[in-house]
Amino acid sequence: MDISVVIPVYNEESTLQKIFSRIKKTRIPSEILLIDDGSTDSTPQIIKQLQEDPSVRAITFPVNRGKGAAVSAGIKAAHGEIIILQDADLEYNPSDYKKLLKPFEKNQAEVVYGVRFMTNNKKTSYFFHFVANKILTMITNILYKSSLNDMETGYKIFRKDIFEQLQIKANGFDFEPEFTAKLLKRKIKIYEVPITFKPRNYAQGKKIKFHDALLAIWTLIKVRFLESK
């Protein structure tokens, strides 16, 4: 399988080199796409250095457009048959790639989610974010009659042709609920795999806020009742 790792990046100068090294250590992706979402720190310089690696391609936004816009741009530019979404911080560990890809190797899945809360990871999660994730996942399951454990996970792995069917419009953190809602509305099965997870706090650069949770709820409702596809 040709595998592309898509990394949206916004002001991640302290972690980008580290996560890149961890990805390369897996020897799994055929290419790594770095989407600089208008960074104002030294991230652009780091990306320029990383482009010396022949597996790296970069897309640069002159201004911040949001995670969803960055992710969508990266996916559309990717050459791989399989897409792995990877955050630029150190919350998610690329050492999980191998087990996340197993369902594809066995032709068991078209979409795989790496689930943070199927192990003891909740012991290290920040309480507000843990509860918010549980509530958003519960709302998803009620609206779409599903049984997911972690709708908001950053580890989403899928065939590129599946993404092309969804017509994603989200530019911000509402990418996660829109992507999930449109999969479920089309009856596309989401295969879940437990992963390791090391949460960071706002002092360490965490960006998602309370209003993003409200937007997620609205997105789930909108796709369920107001969109035909």
Return d(Cα 209, Cα 202) in angstroms, integer: 10
**pLDDT value at residue 122:** 46
**Sheet order of strands, 3-9 included:** 56-61, 31-37, 3-9, 82-85, 156-159, 111-115, 191-194
**pLDDT value at residue 108:** 83
Instruction: Report the CATH number at residue 73.
Output: 3.90.550.10
**pLDDT value at residue 208:** 62
Calculate ∠ Cα 138-201-86, nearest 5°.
70
Return d(Cα 154, Cα 183) in angstroms, integer: 16
Distances (CA, A) of 189 to 97, 206, 208: 19, 30, 27
**pLDDT value at residue 1:** 86
* Paired tokens of 131: 């509860």
What's the one-letter identity of residue 4?
Answer: S
What's the one-letter identity of residue 209?
Answer: K
Return d(Cα 32, Cα 50) in angstroms, integer: 10
Calculate ∠ Cα 34-2-229, nearest 5°.
75
**pLDDT value at residue 67:** 96
**Number of domains within the chain:** 1
Can you point out the beta strands (E) in the chain? Answer: 3-9, 31-37, 56-61, 82-85, 111-115, 156-159, 191-194
Q: Which domain holds residue 184?
A: 3-226
* Paired tokens of 98: 């191998």
Name the one residue in this structure whose structure tokens are 């580890």: 155
**pLDDT value at residue 199:** 76
Candidates 170, 177, 135; CA nearest to 156 is 177
Q: Are 47 and 19 in contact (CB under 8 A)?
A: no
Give the number of other CB atoms < 10 A from CB of residue 52. Answer: 7
Candidates 215, 163, 159, 205; CA nearest to 9 is 205
SS3 state at 12: coil
From first to last of its 229 residues, the chain has per-residue pLDDT tens of 899 999 999 999 999 999 999 999 999 999 999 999 999 999 999 999 999 999 999 999 999 999 999 999 999 999 999 999 999 999 999 999 999 999 999 888 999 999 997 655 444 456 777 888 999 999 999 999 999 999 999 999 999 999 999 999 999 999 999 999 999 999 999 999 999 998 755 454 455 667 889 999 999 999 999 987 6
Backbone φ and ψ for 212, nearest 5 degrees, come out as -70, -30
**pLDDT value at residue 143:** 98
Give the number of other CB atoms < 10 A from CB of residue 145. Answer: 8
Return d(Cα 68, Cα 83) in angstroms, integer: 15
